[in-house]
Structure 1
Amino acid sequence: MRCAITLMGIAIALLLFIAMAKAGDHEEAMRVSEQCMERHNIAEDDIPKMHMDDFDASEVDEKFKCFAHCMLEEMGYLDEAQKLNLAKLEEDEDFKDEYLDIAVKCKAEHDFIEDPCEYSFKIMSCAMEIKKTKE
């Protein structure tokens, strides 16, 4: 359960990551988050503080991985192949270059993954790990 809860913290951090990158769309990000939480049966009580130090991706419940996919898909960050859409990020003048660099690295590292939920989860985890190392 701790790993599932930890992922929720990472998912919320992803939401904040996206919101920071697109400050003008914070309300939309919150709406999408609530919609995805409902779709994947995730309660607000499941949202803890983020604990990256003891995170084990192999033990994460599928619903949290699919929450990550839902977030990226609903916010328009995935293309038709369900992969991170770098062109959309590049077009967005509010998306900071620092975050685009992170997205490029994570996409290159994980684009071979076929399962959309697993892929989105790996992209999200990668982005948060890189962002953490830059702080």
Structure 2
Amino acid sequence: MKYLCVVFVAVTCFVLSWCQSSPKPESALPEPAKKCLAQENVDYQYAIDFHSGKIKLEDVSAAFKCFIHCIVEDGGYMKDGQILEENIVKAAENITSVDQVRKIISNCKIVKGGNACEMSFNTYMCISSELK
């Protein structure tokens, strides 16, 4: 699970405390996360329900996809639909092998989406599946 925290979704993981067995209260979220939740009108519980598997992939809201987009753009892990590989590698350098991070990024660079939110979300899902 540590890889999920670092590779691309680092900000998302810390923001929603997904690396822990139980999420922290919404009030404990960093300001960027609160900003993205509010900006995209996403309920914190929805994000927790998605992570726990209560929401099926085909039922994920467009707003949640845009929340993921907001988080990865603000975190510096994607810009204009492109993965910012060096930023991800730098974030992961003290936790996992750079080679493994680069391999995962390479496998997920081909992901597409109909818009920026879908692209970010699909990339997030690709990296998540690569880590399992």
Into which bin does the TM-score normalised by the smaller protein fall? Answer: 0.5 to 0.7
CA contact (8 A) 1:89 1:95 kept: no
Displacement after TM superposition at 1:114 (Å): 5.1
Greater per-residue helix proportion: 1
Unaligned runs of 5+ in 1: 1-12
Identical positions, percent: 22
Cross-structure match for 1:88: 87
Displacement after TM superposition at 1:118 (Å): 0.4
Displacement after TM superposition at 1:106 (Å): 1.0
Alignment root-mean-square deviation, CA = 3.3
Which residues of 2 match residues 1-135 of structure 1 at below 5 A? 17-18=5-6, 26=14, 30-31=29-30, 32-46=32-46, 47-48=48-49, 49-51=51-53, 55-57=56-58, 59-79=59-79, 81-92=80-91, 93-94=93-94, 96=96, 97=98, 98-108=100-110, 110=111, 112-113=112-113, 115-132=115-132
- 2:10 & 2:128 partners in 1: Cα distance? 16
- 1:120 & 1:55 partners in 2: Cα distance? 18
Unaligned runs of 5+ in 2: 18-28
- TM-score calculated relative to the size of structure 1: 0.62
Cross-structure match for 2:20: none
- 2:36 & 2:94 partners in 1: Cα distance? 23
Secondary structure, in 3 states, of the residue corresponding to 2:117?
A: helix
- TM-score calculated relative to the size of structure 2: 0.64
CA contact (8 A) 1:77 1:85 kept: yes
Q: Number of aligned pairs?
A: 110
